[in-house]
Amino acid sequence: DAGITQSPRHKVTETGTPVTLRCHQTENHRYMYWYRQDPGHGLRLIHYSYGVKDTDKGEVSDGYSVSRSKTEDFLLTLESATSSQTSVYFCAISAFGGNEKLFFGSGTQLSVL
Amino acid sequence: AQTVTQSQPEMSVQEAETVTLSCTYDTSESDYYLFWYKQPPSRQMILVIRQEAYKQQNATENRFSVNFQKAAKSFSLKISDSQLGDAAMYFCAYRTTGGGSEKLVFGKGTKLTVNP
């Protein structure tokens, strides 16, 4: 299995509080991604990174920010969590572009009350 | 923007039978990659099979094969000799190539039930 660790695995928080999810990889892969998974929507891309300090928005980036100061870490921040951000969040990595497969983390279940 | 459509929210199949999951996509690009991912109840995402758009030959991986119709923008997954362990959510995905914006776009998924 690819070395991807997401933390925390589960989190319950209150509306309006800031939340940071962490993705850590030991593969030295260039690309890192944050997805959210919701019933009826599949996986939707939030943000992705194609190198240190190089990030771009996905299709559902509103309310989220990311940072990548090191190759191995990709942080996802909810500045002020809302109930609509209750979801399962997946981090994924890949080495190169093209047909390189994505390796996924185990996901973080986030509940915003 | 590219979109991926899986028109079957749920499918069921009898053990040992064959089932086909549908996927269509929309793109203006000529070079891209297509994938099928499996997500069992454990939540782990597992790559089942992938197809390069420039290859005419359909990809196969043991009991899993695809029917790739580039002109029709169709990419269906066939599972032969279905097993109980095949029960899962299946996601079709599209990936663009080059330019640094190589993100993966997913369909909404098809839930496959395998009946004993």
- Comparing CA positions, the residue from B32, A85, B40, A84 lying closest to residue A76 is A85
DSSP for residue A85: G
User: Which of B19, B38, B34 minimizes the C-alpha distance to B90?
Assistant: B38
Given a contact cutoff of 8 angstroms between Cβ atoms, the answer to whether B51 and B75 are in contact is yes
Find out whether B103 and B2 touch, Cβ atoms under 8 Å. Answer: no
Q: What's the whole-number average pLDDT of chain A?
A: 92
CB pairs under 8 A between A and B: 56
pLDDT for residue A77 is more than 70: yes
Contacts of B45 in chain A (CB under 8 A): 90, 92, 102, 104
Residue B112, min C-alpha distance to chain A (Å): 14
Q: Residue A84: exposed, middle, or buried by beta-carbon count in 10 A (0-12, 13-18, 19+)?
A: exposed
Provide the pLDDT confidence category of residue B95 given band limits of 50, 70 and 90: confident
Burial of B43 (0-12, 13-18, 19+ CB in 10 A): middle
Distance from CA of B110 to the nearest CA of A (A): 9
User: For residues A7 and A21, is the Cβ–Cβ distance under 8 A?
Assistant: yes
* Nearest residue to B4 (alpha-carbon basis) of B65, B112, B92, B98: B92
Using a CB-CB cut-off of 8 Å, the residues of chain B touching A94 are: 102
pLDDT of residue B101: 58
Q: What is the pLDDT of residues B5-64, one digit of tens each?
A: 999 999 999 999 999 999 999 998 888 889 999 999 988 899 999 998 888 899 999 999
Q: Tens digit of pLDDT for each residue in A39-63?
A: 888 899 999 998 899 999 988 999 9
